[in-house]
Amino acid sequence: MESSWAVYGCTAEPAKAESGVEPFRKKLARLGKTLLRATGTTLQVNLGPMCNQLCRHCHLDAGPHRTETMDLETMEELLRFARTCAPQVVDITGGAPELNPHLSYLVESLSPWVPRLMIRTNLTALAEAGTEELLELFRKKRVVLVASFPSPNPAQLEAQRGIGVMGKSLEMLRVLNMAGYGIPGSELELDLVSNPAGAFLPPAQQKAQERFRKELQRRWGIHFNRLYTFANVPLGRFRMWLISTGNFQGYMQRLQSAFNPLTLEGLMCRSLVSISWEGYLFDCDFNLCVALPMGGMKRHISEMEGFPEPGSPIVVGDHCYACTAGSGFT
Amino acid sequence: MADYYSPEDLNRFQEIGGEASELARKFFDYYGAVFSEGALSEREKALIALAVAHAVQCPYCIDAYTRACLEKGSNLEEMTEAVHVACAIRGGASLIHGIQMRRIAAKLSM
């Protein structure tokens, strides 16, 4: 029988490694803090770990070797569930969402009544999936694109995402700009996400955004709306890399040393529900990766109506240190 | 003691205030103020610190400011250039003293 790890996130159960940090749950208890749900606003839909890239920081172990992707039956159940939630935001992620054969149907179905529909793209999958057709649909439905772009420095970007990815990413950013995405004054929003290319924390978001904007415009004439900087989460392939390079303990300690209790209030898990490609519910995409179901009980979207009750406890693990470091993951 | 230098000591820096807490407090307050955003950005200051760390050859500082530079958004290309700045100044400092050597030699020589 396959382990839950294999089903949800990783192809192999992660190597046991001593993190050397205080367990996150104990940390919260010691500080007298709790992590409880607020009013739900966001549905995050993980269409599966199927991806055309093999990024080294991936917490889901996504890649070309993964074939799991949401089927049409689950998607219909998702649409029913989404109606009962009436979310402000639907955030579609993967893997590479573009590789799911039903993505267009999902966008068509959600866009009329979801105020903010986001798709996370690695930029290169959009080219593989047929750029023109998808891009026309995204434009028409005002889909917000959130693109992975860790660094304007080619060596850093390709160390994380693979050789040859820089050129392809820049080319797709140009295509998106030409379609109106990310251009000042346009309604088509293009945001970038930067994760560090290694076992260190990300720079402050505002400063990094200024630098990215200047560099991307100066060197390649590329525009975007906002940059988000996030710490890498020590799960999946990134965890394996940390352990194999002797960085695991140091990174966990770095995350713990940057723990900021002020981030707890605005953590995304308080207002978000993450749905796996099989239709199971999680507090966040990281809990999905380690098969920690929402509320500690495996529940399917077909069994639920609406967002979970405000005040419900959120399942935590030591990977939560990544979302509570510095400015946090909100 | 296996070694004069221990990487773990870096995380114990605050212990230097053990018997001189007021002096340590003043130093760390000053240190924090120096590295906060001013006319220079935190990223620029971290790159300067990395260069100086190489000039004074402090392994603790090299360790700390390699990480700090990465976390402020710098890349290896910029960091290597910073090290070359330190190298150029150190080399130049030796070389400019060669003028003194030439001057003395000129005075002593027929």
Measured between beta carbons, the chain A residues lying within 8 angstroms of B41 are 207
Interface of A with B in 310-329 (CB under 8 A): none
Angstrom distance (rounded) from CA A104 to CA A134: 7
H or E segment to which residue B33 belongs: helix B21-35
Q: What local confidence, expressed as pLDDT, does residue B100 receive?
A: 96
Tens digits of residue pLDDT in A113-146: 999 999 999 999 998 877 789 999 999 999 999 9
Calculated CA dihedral for residues B27, B29, B30, B31, nearest 10 degrees:
80
pLDDT at position A185 is 93
- The residue whose two tokens read 């949800």 is A8
Mutating which of A166, A206, A211 best tests the B interface, going by the most B Cβ atoms within 10 A?
Answer: A211
pLDDT value at position A41?
A: 98
A160-165, Cβ contacts within 8 angstroms, sequence gap of 24 or more: A160/A55, A160/A56, A160/A57, A160/A195, A160/A197, A160/A198, A161/A53, A161/A55, A161/A56, A161/A122, A162/A53, A162/A54, A162/A55, A165/A53, A165/A124
What does pTM read for this prediction?
0.88
Q: Tokens 């230098």 belong to which residue?
A: B5
pLDDT confidence of residue A241 = 94
Q: What pLDDT score does B3 carry? A: 84
What is the pLDDT at residue A136? 96
pLDDT the model gives residue B2: 73
- Quote the pLDDT of residue A6: 44
pLDDT at A15: 53
Q: Could you say which of B70, B73, B76 has the minimum Cβ distance to residue A208?
A: B73
What residues of chain A lie within 8 A of the CB of B70, using their CB? Answer: 196, 198, 200
Q: CA-CA distance, A326 to A188, in Å (whole number)?
A: 30
- Per the omega criterion (within 30 degrees of 0), is the bond before A279 cis? no
Enumerate the β-bridge partners of residue A147: A121, A192
Q: Indicate the residue of B71, B72, B77 with minimum beta-carbon distance to A153.
A: B77
DSSP conformation class of B57: T
CB contact under 8 A, A155 and B67: no
Closest CA of chain B from A132, distance in Å: 34
Contacts of A208 in chain B (CB under 8 A): 73
Taking only the tens place, the pLDDT of each residue in B91-108 is: 999 999 999 999 999 999
Q: Name every residue whose Cβ is closer than 8 Å to that of residue A168 and which is 6 or more positions away in sequence.
A: A123, A124, A127
pLDDT value for A286: 96
Give the residue from A224, A226, A223, A234 showing the smallest Cα distance to A196.
Answer: A234
Taking alpha carbons only, the member of A286, A290, A261, A321 closest to residue A34 is A261
Q: What is the pLDDT of residue A128?
A: 84
Residue A329: per-residue pLDDT:
66
Q: For residue B2, what is the DSSP state? A: -
Interface contact B13, partner A, CB < 8 A: no
**Spans in chain B with pLDDT lower than 70:** 1
Please name the residues in contact with B83: beta carbons below 8 A apart, sequence gap of 6 or more: B50, B51, B54
Which residues of chain A are under the pLDDT cut of 50? 1-13
Phi/psi of residue A259, nearest 5 degrees = -55, 130
Query: Do B43 and A203 make contact, defined as CB atoms within 8 angstroms?
Result: yes
CB A125 within 8 A of CB A66: no
Counting every residue written for chain A, the total comes to: 330
Structural contact between residues A6 and A49, judged by C-beta atoms closer than 8 angstroms: no
Sheet bearing A89-93, strands edge to edge: A227-229, A190-194, A144-148, A116-121, A89-93, A42-46, A272-275, A281-282
What lies within 8 Å, CB to CB, of B44 at 6+ separation is none
Residues in chain B within 8 Å Cβ distance of A216: none
Q: Which two tokens stand for residue A61?
A: 């172990």
How many CB atoms within 10 Å of residue A185? 5
pLDDT at A330: 55
CB contact under 8 A, B73 and A203: yes
By the CB < 8 Å criterion, does A201 face chain B? Answer: yes
Rounded to whole angstroms, the Cα distance separating B96 from B16 reads: 37
Question: Which tokens is A109 given?
Answer: 């179905």
A256 CA: distance to closest CA in chain B (Å): 13
Read off the DSSP letter of residue B38: S
Q: Residue A200 has what pLDDT? A: 96
Residue A5: predicted pLDDT: 43
User: Residue B77: its chain A contacts at CB < 8 A?
Assistant: 153, 155
- Is residue A269 within 8 Å of residue A310, measured between CB atoms? no
Cβ-defined contact of B75 to A156 (cutoff 8 Å): yes
